Amino acid sequence: MSATVRAAPARYLTDVRRSPGQLLLLVLSLWFISNGPVAYAMCPSFALGSHMTSCTVLAFGFIPVTVNGWHALFHFITGVPGLFAARSPRAAFWYGIGCGWFYLVVAGLGLAGDTSVLHLMAVDTFGNWVHAAEGGLCITAAALTRRAFR
């Protein structure tokens, strides 16, 4: 039993390295998951609508980062399935397509809504462009993964 448990991380990494897209999706998923607790620590508010609160800090002294609890949950919830999907080329492909388009839609809603997405998730202009880049990277990873299961 313990040998099987010890071998699991090696098997996981072997599976994930079958295509560059799977590896990229693993990195993106870890990035999304790490953003969740960091954003929650910055601003744990889950208020809605007109009561929505947000917190803005300057990362590296000049990059504004605006978050709230919903933003933290958004990143965490989109990252966890990626850890599972990255093992299989087909699952990684569909996760990359779905997550990529989801991030692009959220970026568009954020740009249209100024300081929030549907009066729920706190964002800023820089964060909206980051979400667009993350969505683009997910779709790129899906394209790189597609070749692995043709």
Q: What pTM was computed for the model?
A: 0.89
128-149: pLDDT as tens digits: 999 999 999 999 999 999 776 6
Number of structural domains found in the chain: 1
86-131: pLDDT as tens digits: 999 999 999 999 999 999 999 999 999 877 888 888 889 899 999 9
- Written as one string, the DSSP assignment of the chain is -HHHHHHHHHHHHHHHTTSHHHHHHHHHHHHHHHHHHHHHHH------GGG---EEEEETTTEEEEE-HHHHHHHHHHHHHHHHHTTSHHHHHHHHHHHHHHHHHHHHHHHHHSSEETTTEE--HHHHHHHHHHHHHHHHHHHHHHGGG-
Domain that holds residue 86: 2-149
